[in-house]
Amino acid sequence: MARMRTKPNGENGAEAPGDPATNGNRNRDRDTSGRGGQQYAERGGKSLNAYKSTGTGKRRYKPGMAALREIRKYQKSTDLLIQKLPFSRLVREIHEEFLNTGYRLEEFPARWQSSALLCLQEAAEAYLVHLFEDAYLCTIHAKRVTLMQQDIRLARRIRGQQ
């Protein structure tokens, strides 16, 4: 059904300007959600309102900024990077493997002092950090920025630790 154009208030005395029965229904059929938003929804696409951001999400930083912030954080800190309990389990597991492969030192299970585990952990972390530094130099030499397994192998080979 075709729409008829209505006359605005005040012309020809058609309706009174303060009439509550007609003023409340004047904008009833008008789409206030945006220009043409309904047309896209009718065709099967998304409406324009679906693309508007709400502004309540997390702040997005440039790519690489989080990595740089993490690097600065770990360079400032002096604490250990590996957690103590998983490292302790690893040391005990390696020790058990040595006991089961013929390197029997004692018949009873070994007990580890916390200072001995701490010393091993600091040495292991220092070794790994130095290895990654050397491997990253190999990465830069290959004109890349991504550290790869072949860089770690090359760094170990140059050191003579195969």
- Cβ(15)–Cβ(22) under 8 Å? yes
pLDDT of residue 110: 79
Q: Which residue has the tokens 């010393």?
A: 119
What's the pLDDT at 39? 55
Rounded alpha-carbon distances, angstroms, from residue 129 to 56, 64, 126, 152:
39, 21, 5, 12
Per-residue pLDDT at 48: 59
Q: What share of the chain is helix, strand, coil (3-state, %, to 5)?
A: 50, 0, 50
The per-residue pLDDT for 113 is 94
What does the alpha-carbon distance between residue 147 and residue 139 come to, in Å, rounded to a whole number?
6
CA distance 38 to 50: 11
- For the chain, which residues make up each domain, given as ranges? 83-112, 121-162
- Residue found by looking up tokens 């920025």 in the block: 145
Per-residue pLDDT 10s for the chain (162 aa) are 677 777 776 555 555 555 555 555 555 555 555 555 555 555 666 665 656 666 677 888 898 899 899 989 999 999 999 999 999 999 999 988 887 877 666 666 678 999 999 999 999 999 999 999 999 999 999 999 999 999 999 999 999 987
CB distance 95 to 110 below 8 Å: yes
pLDDT for position 159 = 93
Q: Supply the pLDDT for residue 60.
A: 86
pLDDT at 102 (0 to 100): 72
Q: What is the pLDDT of residue 70?
A: 92
> Which pLDDT score, from 0 to 100, does residue 3 have?
74
Residues 121-162, CATH architecture: Orthogonal Bundle (1.10)
